[in-house]
Structure 1
Amino acid sequence: MAMTAAPPRVVATEAALALIARLLARHGPLMFHQSGGCCDGSSPMCYARGELLLGEQDVYLGDIGGQPFHIGAAQYEYWKHTQIIIDAVPGRGGMFSLEGPEGMRFHSRSRLFDDAEWAALVAQQPACFQADQKL
């Protein structure tokens, strides 16, 4: 039986990709961080690349629209069994996020990885990270 390829941990909808392209044209390279609350709730935040200083507690999930996407370690523990789906919907973006003036905001959705996807994700991690990775 063939092993399922590990799915991306974060993906973007066509609407989100279109908004990312507009922001790239206006601001240059971007970065994303899934907020854990505080000022802007749990919105994914978009910054000019390097504007947000990342720390040891930030986890890189992958790229959306060619731009890096990170999440705080505590949030990652909560969301690690899910694929994060970044969408763009009408509304006001987070006060610190670059899409604010666009009349659109980034929005996070998620879906649980199925057993085969989860097994593929665990298999690609170093052994030291696999001990507590049961679904």
Structure 2
Amino acid sequence: MYILSTTDYFSRWAEAVPLKKVKKEIVADFIKSNIIFRYDIPRYIITDNGTPFDNKLMRSLCENLKVVSKNKRNWHEKIGEALWAYRTTFRTATQATPYSLVYGVEVVLPLEQQIPSLRITL
């Protein structure tokens, strides 16, 4: 038994289905039914590059829907962005962000530097 799941990095919304077998057709259908038809076409789909995700059917699906395809070898360039998102996301278990637990203050977001707020000016 397997669980095929997806998580939106921004909202942390999760979708999942139980599967007896993981086949490329099932994965493509899951992406269409549980992501695209419910929400929208994602800009990126990040996977573990397993066989159900790295095949002609998935490449065709992504190409037809204009999902950005990037070289699998440049993942290291995104580590900083991924860590930033992880460290600044509120955690229910701790009632805080990992950043605030380490530094004792909430992070100043890049947007807050462009649009001054009372928190920044003080």
TM (normalized to structure 1)?
0.24
Q: Which structure carries more relative contact order (alpha carbon 8 Å, separation 6+)?
A: 1
Of structures 1 and 2, the larger Rg is shown by 2
The structure in which a higher percent of residues are strand is 1
TM (normalized to structure 2)?
0.26
The structure in which a higher percent of residues are helix is 2
